Amino acid sequence: MTTVLTKSFPEDKPLAAPAAIRKRRVLIIGGGFAGIAAAHALKRADVEITLIDRRNHHIFQPLLYQVATAVLAPSEIAAPLRQLETRQKNLRVILADVTGINIGIRTVEAICPGAGTRKFEYDFLVVAAGMRPSYFGHDEFAPNAPGLKNLNDAVLIRTKILSAFELAESTDDEKERARLMTFVLVGAGPTGVELAASIAHLVSVTLRKNFRNIDPASSKIVLLDGGARILPTFAEKLSRKVAKRLGKLGVQVLTGVKVEKVDENGVVAAGARIPSANVLWTAGVAASPVVKMLGTTTDRAGRAIVGPFLDIPEAPDVFVAGDAAAMTQDGHPVPGVAQAAIQQGRFIGHLIANRERGRKDGRPFRYRSKGNMAVVGKNYAILEAGRLRTAGFATWLVWAVLHVMALPQLQNRFRVQMQWFWSYLSGQRSSRLISEAPRR
């Protein structure tokens, strides 16, 4: 009897699927100008992008002062980050607050609302976490001198300004009324100048006939700076023109004056007290605390000192951009402005895309300035671009067009344009709401 042996051949079993090749992971911290530019530059790259931000929206920061002075509503200069996912398939957005970075094992730890602490792994890390107000070692000033860096700050300042007039209207104490109607801005850079000019227009035009017991036009607006002149990043000729313009608007400009104390009663500057219930901090900025988590070298403002490719020496696949980065070009620091942040973010995105494709890095980053602008109230702005230096109404029109076109969404552009047109004709501002504190 013959025994036939049967053999099980491999084809009798289902073939195992080949292991999927994992895409390289790009983690971006911060949904500001630099972070969004980096993500957009990676739109066609074969990578997985995760963008983490503690807020669910992107802010067009150049117009924050207009929210603070009731010209625009917060929603008119902001756009939801979540909407980026609908436009970019390789991107996901996570609402979280970063609490730790380990560049050794390439992980980022963050607290997600409702989900607790999570760890995110990465192959490339982009830190574009932005900045916060700097009080130059005097953090005790902060409770009485809010800065202007996000929408919460803008709404707080708007409430502070509008509430001051309501309180002044209801008091019979002349000294208290004068204190309530005195506005002190510390720092005469572009933000301080634009905010001071906007407050001047608010008190002299918008609120002119709104009260019975007070005249808002009699408000005192003081702009302080420790430097020799206002707008130190602009040419001296333009600085002088702006100072003259501010004087015509009723703003008192004091330079070479250092603030020694800020409390609930006002400020002490150069040994003299200025009674005020409205001290606003527009002086300096410091990098986000996230930068310190990298363990790299930083400058006095807490910004990471980056190399020619915007990376840090400890890890060539970790990049820092925007206000979180400190870089020198031709002996001068790259300015912390929106156009620089966008260029840096775009550069990093293209660099990562090239590395993912196995290409060489190419040329180092080089900032190309398209000019600096500042608006000083209605019908007046300044522009400096190379040797070109202009000021006046025509420059103001250019400023308005450029800022409308730079807004994040079409609906933002339409709404801001319509609001500006109405405010220009009527002098009124539509966002004069005093936020109520939540009741317990």
Please identify every residue annotated as catalytic: 194
Amino acid identity of residue 347, one-letter, is F
Residue 135: name the closest of 65, 78, 187 by CA: 187
Amino acid identity of residue 48, one-letter, is E
Amino acid identity of residue 81, one-letter, is L
CB neighbour class for 198 (10 Å; exposed up to 12, middle 13-18, buried from 19): buried
Two tokens, residue 231: 């707008």
In the chain, what is the greatest distance between 2 CA atoms, to the nearest angstrom? 123
Task: Please report, for residues 46, 94, 294, 415, the alpha-carbon distance to residue 127 in angstroms, rounded to integers and kept in the order given.
Answer: 20, 15, 9, 32
The number of angstroms, rounded, from the C-alpha of 166 to the middle of its chain's C-alpha atoms is 30
Q: What angle do CA 405, 411, 413 make, to 5 degrees?
A: 25
SS3 402: helix
**CA–CA dist 381, 377 (Å, integer):** 8
The number of angstroms, rounded, from the C-alpha of 235 to the middle of its chain's C-alpha atoms is 24
CB neighbour class for 68 (10 Å; exposed up to 12, middle 13-18, buried from 19): buried
